[in-house]
Amino acid sequence: MAALLEIEGGVPLRGTAAVSAAKNAALPALAASLLTAEPVVMENLPLLADVTTIRRLLERLGAQITDEPDRTTHIRVPAVGRPEAPYELVSTMRASVLVLGPLLARTGSARVALPGGCAIGLRPIDQHLKGFQRLGAEISIQNGYVEARASRLKGARISTDLVTVTGTENLMMAAALAEGTTVIENAACEPEVADLAGLLLAMGAKIEGAGSKRIEIQGVPDLGGARHRIIPDRIEAGTLLVAGAITGGDVTVTGIVPAHLSAVVATLEEAGSKLDGGPDWVRVEGQGRPRPVDVATTVFPGFPTDMQAQVMALLGLADGLSRITETIFENRFMHVAELNRMGARIRTDGATALVRGVAHYQGAPLMATDLRASASLVLAGLAAQGATSVSRVYHLDRGYERLEVKLQRLGARIVRRG
């Protein structure tokens, strides 16, 4: 039997939860280890299915990876074997395309399966490819694979047509070893981009402006080893805060960077929760029924698309009508039908969900469709009257490190079966 989570709702969560390292910072950091033959040491890799997938991919590419007793992970890629990311891995995890930039820069060629659409949208990688072409690569699509070639990449001015997180990361990694200066305009400002730049700097790269819309990279001939501590996961933190708010509890998340969570904190405050914070923690106290809020997802520092489903679960219980607009992905409302099966009254109209709050959810058997949708179903189950089961938990395990254990420690009645 595939694993499922069983939840008995209605317990206000109370206590403190330590947040793990960010999935979306760990994946590019691991890909960056392909840029050097020297060891790259990660101090705090999160235990996630997506991290396992990229580790498998790196090993196929020639990486030697060891987990040390002190919780560090050592990655060394003395030489890249065949520079290819096969379809079986890319189709399980789109972020596998993050090896394209490093492979191209290190070996002069790369063959990476073209990811298809996925549960949340079409998600093309045209901006990554256009950027590599600007750096002098020849790109062709052959039998469903991107084939990229360049004797030595050359610095260039790149202005992406839209803001792309992994696109910015891929191009920044490639440009780190290019000849001359690269400027990325319209770069993603997400903290995960700045974290990757921090690792690349430690490896000897010359990068300025990461975390802003304009990144300047002075190419260097080689990069060396480094030791890196990945930033805390702002989405896991946000998910746990919503768990506190939605159950009318009192939850503190620790080991975080509060500035990474400001849009989520502001939304929870607007929804009527009481928030407090210090240098590396935020505390939420739920205050009865939430107030309705209009939310639109956007790029950092705006409200993150990766928190949209979770906040929808909260606003589904608000005393009034909330409007949630998804501007990043075209199909990220898969959780709506499942929330409605619990008694929510949510209607979608294109990119907007009209959420008419109900007083209670009822527990129900539910099916997860993607990572953040599964988190929203778990949150709704925690607040619901009666029992909820969430199947296809593998979606959740891609991006949350034992979420049910963290929730249990806060008093939730949640168990994993199978």
Nearer to ligand EPU, 115 or 248 (CB): 115
Work out the angle between the directed axes of helices 334-341 and 371-383 (0-180°, nearest 10): 20
State the DSSP H helix or E strand holding residue 170, giving kind and residue range, or none if neither. helix 165-176
Nearest distance from C-beta of residue 121 to ligand EPU, angstroms: 5
Minimum CB distance to ligand EPU, residue 23 (Å): 6
CB-nearer residue toward ligand EPU: 300 or 361? 300
Q: How many residues of this chain bind ligand EPU (CB under 6 A)?
A: 25
Site string for ligand EPU, 86-115 (x = CB under 6 A): ---------x--------------------
Region for 108 from its dihedrals, namely left if φ exceeds 0, alpha if ψ lies in -120 to 50, beta otherwise: left
Positive or negative, the CA dihedral 316, 318, 323, 327 is negative
Using the rule CB under 6 A, give the single segment among 40-48, 120-128, 147-155, 253-261 that binds ligand EPU: 120-128
Considering only the stretches 19-27, 237-245, 317-325, 344-352, report the one whose residues sit in contact with ligand EPU under the rule CB under 6 A.
19-27
In this structure, are residues 135 and 171 in contact, taking their beta carbons and an 8 Å threshold?
Answer: yes
- Contact with ligand EPU (CB under 6 A) among 399, 401, 412, 414: 399
Reference 405, options 49, 43, 2, 20; nearest CA is 20
Q: Nearer Cβ to ligand EPU, position 127 or 322?
A: 127
Site track for ligand EPU across 156-175, x = CB under 6 A: ------x-xxxx--------
Return the number of the residue (117 or 278) whose C-beta is nearest ligand EPU: 117
Stretch that binds ligand EPU, among 125-133, 177-185, 209-217, 347-355 (CB under 6 A): 125-133
Torsion angle, CA of 352/358/363/364, rounded to 10 degrees? -40
Interaction between residue 22 and ligand EPU (CB under 6 A): no
Beta strands 295-296 and 274-278, pairing class: unpaired
Query: Binding to ligand EPU by residue 123, rule CB under 6 A?
Result: yes
Residue in 37, 118, 119, 257 annotated catalytic: 118
- Name which position in 121, 255, 292, 301 contacts ligand EPU (CB under 6 A): 121
Instruction: Based on the residue annotation, tell me whether 189 is a catalytic residue of this protein.
Output: no
Crossing angle of helices 126-134/100-107, nearest 10°?
A: 20
In which element (H, E) is residue 416 found?
strand 413-417
| 328 binding ligand EPU? (CB under 6 A) | yes
End-to-end Cα distance, the chain: 6
| For ligand EPU, the closer CB: 283 or 335 | 335
Among 336, 371, 378, 407, binds ligand EPU (CB under 6 A): 371
Nearest to 326 by CA among 301, 344, 299: 299
CA distance 133 to 135: 5
Q: Which regions of 209-296 does DSSP assign to beta strands (E)?
A: 214-218, 226-228, 250-254, 274-278, 281-285, 295-296
Q: Applying CB under 6 A, does 116 fall inside the site for ligand EPU?
A: no
**Residue 132 interacts with ligand EPU (CB under 6 A): yes or no:** no
DSSP code of residue 232: B
Q: C-beta of 287: minimal distance to ligand EPU in Å?
A: 29
The strand pairing partners of 16, in sequence order, are 252
CA distances from 292 to 119, 295, 339, 397 (A): 27, 10, 17, 30
Sole window of 122-130, 250-258, 307-315, 358-366 interacting with ligand EPU (rule: CB under 6 A): 122-130
With binding defined as CB under 6 A, does residue 329 bind ligand EPU? yes
| Interactions with ligand EPU, residue window 178-207 (CB under 6 A) | 192
How far, in Å, CA of 50 to CA of 173, rounded? 20
Give yes or no for residue 306 binding ligand EPU (CB under 6 A).
Answer: yes
Residues involved in catalysis: 118
* Binding positions for ligand EPU, rule: CB under 6 A: 23-24, 27, 95, 121-128, 162, 164-167, 192, 305-306, 328-329, 371-372, 399
